[in-house]
Structure 1
Amino acid sequence: MTTDWNLLGVAESYEDYVPVRERTFAWSALFEQAGLGDRDCHRVLDYGAGTGRVAEQILRSHDVSVIAADRSPSMLKVAQHKRQDPRISYQTIGPDQRVDLPDGELDAAISCFVFVCIPETDTIQSIVEEVYRVLRPGATYAMLEVNPDSVGVPFELGQMGRMGREYAVGEAIEMRLARPDAEPMSILDYHWPKEVHLDRLRKAGFRDVGLVDPTLPTEYDGPDADRLQVERTMAPYTIYVARK
């Protein structure tokens, strides 16, 4: 059974998860790939914004405005309570995966851990096509997802699936996320090999489609360095990048 992100308790539990790896190196890599620092980047779509942490992080490092959209009213309720900023506008994604924006209006788009939560490729395709619709020509879409090649790798901060177990395309897979002073949060995700997302992007019309697997620099000795040893040699995430 899919994790029900519409439940307020699930949204609040996810908010309790401390995004150590994302904060340390993944978000900055995502923003760079999306071109959020470009001079002509002013309006950004965060599709699947969750509780608004990524939108908040964008504003800390970039002079842009963010449209933070999510399907879950509970996620948006937490976001609007915790992260009120005039540069963020929140909206609910419709049942057809659409957002309330005109064609070709935005300068960039990002999404974080959206497709790992979706059990069918038709929905993935609809989302990718919707993002394509609202981007201006030349704009970039960057997607941060769990690296499907990291199944079973014993990261301290979170482990996806069981080591030695092979998962079929689209098969349900457990993700366990570490939380401070609490039991790990267990999420039911879905296993999508990299080529699935690359194919969806190409089919939607994107060009220059590619990916990067960011790792933590081996010399990193900042916050949580002792908890981020495996991340120096194995990428927990994959960033897919495509241009309209």
Structure 2
Amino acid sequence: MVGLTAATAAPDQIAYMDAAASTAVGMDYKQRFVASLDAGPGQTVLDVGCGPGTDLARLADAVGGEGSVIGVDREPRMLEEARRRMADRPNVELLLGDLLDLPIPDDGVDRARTDRVLQHVADPARAVEEVRRVLRPGGLFGMAEPDWDTLAVADQDLDTSRRFARFVAGRVRNPTIGRELVRLCVRAGFRIRSVEPVAVLFRDFATANEILGLRRNSARAVQAGAMSESDAGPWLQRLERGPVVAGFMFYLIIAES
């Protein structure tokens, strides 16, 4: 069947993150996300799970030469790439560390952010508490997280689309984290400043396939017995011919310590 012979291996993580950030919706929400964090000259901003440095330059511009940006990631490969990209940014510091045990002193930063990180951590509630520990009183914590439980792919075969969506959501450690952020923040002692829902929508097969892994994840679902090959093959063929309507809900949250 067309599409089911594709490799099921995950794409290169850095390439995938760059691709997601370069989509129209990715560029739009990232710009609004940084703006809503309201970082200013002289402040210290913490980017938790900074990855390959996708957003560090924008944050460094916001705080200026008198401010500082600290990027923390648990993956040495990510930090190596971030150091390469930030080589000409003296106000950016990169540290190896984990969200559940940040290498930052109490009340050490004015702003903190996570972008598609909390969906993967073992204990999101503890992670939110750890960020509150390092934020100064009145500091802001920005979170951008998806709600994979809202994933939908339009097709005449509604059952197969639902099977695909459930399979993808089931592969994420915290698939509904987007809708849970407000509760976790209030429990940790934050005050909620804003909650902004973002509809992530893909209208072309190439982008939907790259970000949602239509071929890759349907092949995995067939292997796992979550979808049948006789259904998944025609489903993919129809999507490849178009039109495509596929997407999910994404949440941008700003909380104050």
Normalised to the residue count of structure 2, the TM-score between the two structures is 0.63
- Distance change (3 Å), C-alpha of 1:237 and 1:15: closer
Runs of 4+ in 1 over 6 A off after TM superposition: none
Residue 95 of structure 2 corresponds to 91
Of structures 1 and 2, the larger Rg is shown by 2
Letter in 2 for 1:151: L
- Distance change (3 Å), C-alpha of 1:208 and 1:167: same
2:253 corresponds, among 215, 240, 244, to 240
Rounded Cα–Cα distance in structure 2 between residues aligned with 1:24 and 1:13: 16
Indicate the structure with greater helix content.
2
Residue 102 of structure 1 corresponds to 105
- Distance change (3 Å), C-alpha of 1:213 and 1:62: farther
Residue 46 of structure 1 corresponds to 47
The equivalences for 1:62-77 within 5 A come to: 62-63=63-64, 64-77=67-80
1:115 corresponds, among 118, 121, 138, to 118
Letter in 2 for 1:58: L
Residue 164 of structure 1 corresponds to 162
Q: RMSD across aligned C-alpha pairs, in angstroms?
A: 3.4
1:196 and 2:180 matched: yes
Rounded Cα–Cα distance in structure 2 between residues aligned with 1:163 and 1:238: 23
CA contact (8 A) 2:144 2:178 kept: no
- Structure having greater relative contact order (Cα 8 Å, sep ≥ 6): 2
Letter in 1 for 2:15: S
Alpha-carbon offset, residue 17 of structure 1: 2.2
Paired residues, number: 194
Structure 2 residue runs without a partner (length 5+): 1-10, 155-159, 201-206, 208-246
Alpha-carbon offset, residue 235 of structure 1: 7.0
- Determine what percentage of the aligned residue pairs are the same residue: 23
2:84 corresponds, among 68, 78, 81, to 81
Structure 1 residue runs without a partner (length 5+): 1-8, 155-161, 174-187, 217-223, 225-233
- Distance change (3 Å), C-alpha of 1:88 and 1:193: closer
2:28 corresponds, among 1, 25, 28, to 25
- Distance change (3 Å), C-alpha of 1:153 and 1:59: farther
Normalised to the residue count of structure 1, the TM-score between the two structures is 0.66
Rounded Cα–Cα distance in structure 1 between residues aligned with 2:189 and 2:73: 23
Residue 219 of structure 1 corresponds to none
Rounded Cα–Cα distance in structure 1 between residues aligned with 2:174 and 2:27: 25
- Distance change (3 Å), C-alpha of 1:21 and 1:60: farther
